[in-house]
Amino acid sequence: MTGPAILLLDGDGIGPEIVGATRAVLAAASDRFALDLRFQTATIGFAALDATGTTIDAAVIAQARVADGIVLGPVSHNAYPPVAEGGLNPSGTLRRALDLFANIRPAATRTGLPAPATMPFDLVIFRENTEGFYADRNLHLGPGEFMPDADTAMALRKISRRACRRIAEAGFAHAATRPAAHVTAVHKANVLRVSDGLFLEECRAVAAAYPAIRYEEVLVDAMAAHLVRNPACHDVIVTTNMFGDILSDLAGELSGSLGLAASLNAGSDHAMAQAQHGSAPDIAGAGVANPAALIGSAAMLLEWLGARRSAPALTRAGRAMAAALDAALANPATRTPDLGGRASTDGMARAVIAAMQG
């Protein structure tokens, strides 16, 4: 079997710098564990808009479909022109085109790294990734927002039984591998009785198939308070798109910084590593961007590929990358300036590689 083909998409702002750092770590992991990773590249974002008239074209989507895994750099989609003028959000476009229904976002404190949380914690948020209020993925044709008159804006939220069932199944399957074996469904069914009521129906149906896993339901506003007060009470959180987007940023910051917040967009057939943070154009080109979140996301991608291919070497490589990242973050000298360190983007990548090889 040939090694996995990894498609690298730089994106905008600091994207080329942190994707380059992540590629270096992946290449070192490939050498260390004999993975024979094959790297491919394509252009998206403003560079693609200038070259082709769109921020992501059909050829890139086709390339992503046949790749074994994708590493997506951050994009400045808020600054893009309207969709009619080529300003597609590459992230949302790929999530929808590849049916990446689960956005998996871990958040954990690290030994030796200061964090706002008052106690250690280790949790994972499973965010439904294809529906909700998000206009780039929730309807077959047209956006989910519209204005019936010049002074009124409306938004449609799509929640389907199928999407709720599969994000619940993904969350429970993951919880079954963790010591705490605890799933919390986060919702607002006291107000959104129909849509979040349907979400809870599916979560309860899946919970019945996992009697060994402790299951509870918490309102989203209460969950925000719980995460601030005592995040260690939670293990795997399953929720809808927008709630998961907001709660995962909160959990990431509580763990030490949003610059550490890794994530994996996963479907049945494809997966895409993507840091939770944005493109930070104000520091682009300065060589100080923190690559930790994207390196951690790439480690998750290798573990996903290991499970999909029944390839223990890929699994070991992903875990070794994650452990090496923890080691680099534990040393103030090998952290980037946003974490109080002095390392450059490339310097932090070299520290991760050294820890993995040592």
DSSP secondary structure, 86-107, as one string: T---HHHHHHHHTT--EEEEEE
Q: List 336's β-bridge partners, or say none.
A: none
68 among known catalytic residues: no
269 among known catalytic residues: no
215 among known catalytic residues: no
Distance CA 276, CA 259 (A): 8
Residues in the chain: 358
196 among known catalytic residues: no
Catalytic residue among 99, 188, 338, 346: 188
Catalytic residue among 134, 196, 210, 326: 134
| Angle, helix 15-33 to helix 312-330, in steps of 10 degrees | 120
Catalytic residue among 10, 57, 196, 245: 245
Catalytic residue among 31, 36, 50, 221: 221
Torsion angle, alpha carbons of 222, 218, 293, 178, to 10:
140
36 among known catalytic residues: no
**102: Cβ–Cβ under 8 A, 6 or more apart, which residues?**
126, 127, 128, 129, 166, 167, 170, 264, 265, 266, 267
Catalytic residue among 136, 249, 338, 346: 249
- Of 170, 184, 206, the residue nearest 123 (C-alpha): 184
**∠ CA(282), CA(289), CA(93), 5° rounding?**
80
Decide: 299 and 262 in contact? Cβ < 8 Å.
Answer: yes
Distance CA 3, CA 222 (A): 45
Show which residues are catalytic: 134, 188, 221, 245, 249
